[in-house]
Amino acid sequence: MLPILLILIAAYLIGSVSFAVLVSRLYGLPDPRSFGSGNPGATNVLRTGRKSAAALTLAGDAAKGALAVLLATWAARAHGLPDWTPALAALAVFAGHIWPVFFHFRGGKGVATALGVLLALNPWLGLACLVTWLAVFAIGRISSLSALTAAGLAPLYAWLLTRDAALSGAMLALAVLVFWRHQANIRKLLRGEEAGFGRKT
């Protein structure tokens, strides 16, 4: 159990690296936790008008999710650990993004990190969720609705593609966390007040 615990700690610490905050500092931008939605993520960084900063944030958050899962997969194979180890690492890196120890436990909503996790766990699963996000966004132009739809379908996609109970369970837990982090967005969606691209609240 010690190797698994070490893997989970490492995944959590990787997830705790907030690229929104680091990139904003690099660009000399305001702390993303201090304006807009207060969410340290690519969408809030985009509100500064620096598209390159937002793109770098998005790439960094996705990459750290993928990195943690890939490292866990390698370690599990190298040390004969259970097959569900990468799935647990996926949840650990996601938790690190939401509650980053390096940034006073004030993290983001985890959409980009979730995408990196999904692609690393199973490329087809990641692609299915990405296509879902793009399709919903193309119709509604609302990022939060796209993320919620993709997250909600992730457990179903995981089961249909792999029949892996551990992976499907991890995707269910991840979806619950995504929905929990989007509570304010859900309330706005229900009231018809959620802003989309090209629209104002």
The answer to whether the predicted template modeling score (pTM) of the entire model surpasses 0.85 is yes
Supply 199's token pair.
Answer: 């629209």
Q: What's the mean per-residue pLDDT of the chain?
A: 94
Confirm if 118 and 145 have CB atoms less than 8 A apart.
Answer: no
Which pLDDT does position 197 carry in this prediction? 66
Where exactly are the structural domains of the chain? 2-191
Which class for 42: exposed (0-12), middle (13-18), buried (19 or more C-beta within 10 A)?
buried
d(CA 31, CA 169): 35
Instruction: For residue 159, give the DSSP letter.
Output: H
pLDDT tens-digit series, residues 77-110: 999 999 999 999 999 999 999 999 999 999 999 9
